């Protein structure tokens, strides 16, 4: 990991522009490779408002909870959960913004640092992820982070996705606690 100091923290208002840049400057092929339906992408103003509302909403009322990934103090990615069932489970998403930082093991390290926020702050018993089955990167990351592959099936995993085959990976709080 090139001696970078990795850290994570909750989303802050100062992160909104970097998040917007990630989504709106990404190559269309990259987004589609993640399973994004470009026709479902909101416009910038709507997305910005959603992110600002997320920052300002009290934790127990958040429909989505985001953790920023940092390398040497600079935001380089994020993980968020949505479909939150308080005290039970949530759906996790992971995004390393810079292609130059991918495939270096950072995603795995970031996921391991992020999970305590989801388990502790939301009181979750289980976190699951359902990345596009044809996008190998998140599957490697989740496996290396200790997630268990549960099944593969076809669904529309999120509000900006097209119907697609996904692999469902799960991590329970109990399992995670035995790993740390």
For the chain, list residues with pLDDT below 50. none
Q: pLDDT at position 99, please?
A: 75
Q: Can you give the pLDDT at residue 1?
A: 52
Q: Average pLDDT over the chain, rounded to whole?
A: 94
What's the pLDDT at 180?
75
Q: CA-to-CA distance for 95 and 91, rounded, in angstroms? A: 14
CA distance 29 to 104: 22
Chain center to CA of 27? 19
Q: In this structure, what is the dihedral angle of CA atoms 80, 57, 11, 51, given to the nearest 10 degrees?
A: 80
- pLDDT score of 11: 97
Q: What is the per-residue pLDDT across 34-80, written as a single tens digit (0 to 9) for each?
A: 999 999 999 999 999 999 999 999 999 999 999 999 999 999 999 99
Q: Record the pTM.
A: 0.94
């Amino acid at each position: 990991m090139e001696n970078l100091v990795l850290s994570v923290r909750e989303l802050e208002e100062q992160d909104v522009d970097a998040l917007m840049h990630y989504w709106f400057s990404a190559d269309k092929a990259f987004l589609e490779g993640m399973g994004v339906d470009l026709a479902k992408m909101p416009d910038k103003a709507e997305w910005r408002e959603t992110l600002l509302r997320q920052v300002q909403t009290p934790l127990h009322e958040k429909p989505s909870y985001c953790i920023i990934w940092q390398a040497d103090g600079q935001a380089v990615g994020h993980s968020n959960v949505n479909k939150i069932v308080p005290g039970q489970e949530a759906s996790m998403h992971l995004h390393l913004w810079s292609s130059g930082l991918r495939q270096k093991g950072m995603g795995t390290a970031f996921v391991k640092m992020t999970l305590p926020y989801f388990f502790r702050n939301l009181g979750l018993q289980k976190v699951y992820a359902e990345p596009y089955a044809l996008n190998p990167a998140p599957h490697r990351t989740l496996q290396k982070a200790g997630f268990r592959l549960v099944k593969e099936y076809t669904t529309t995993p999120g509000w900006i996705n097209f119907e697609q085959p996904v692999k469902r990976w799960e991590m329970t709080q109990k399992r995670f606690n035995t790993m740390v």
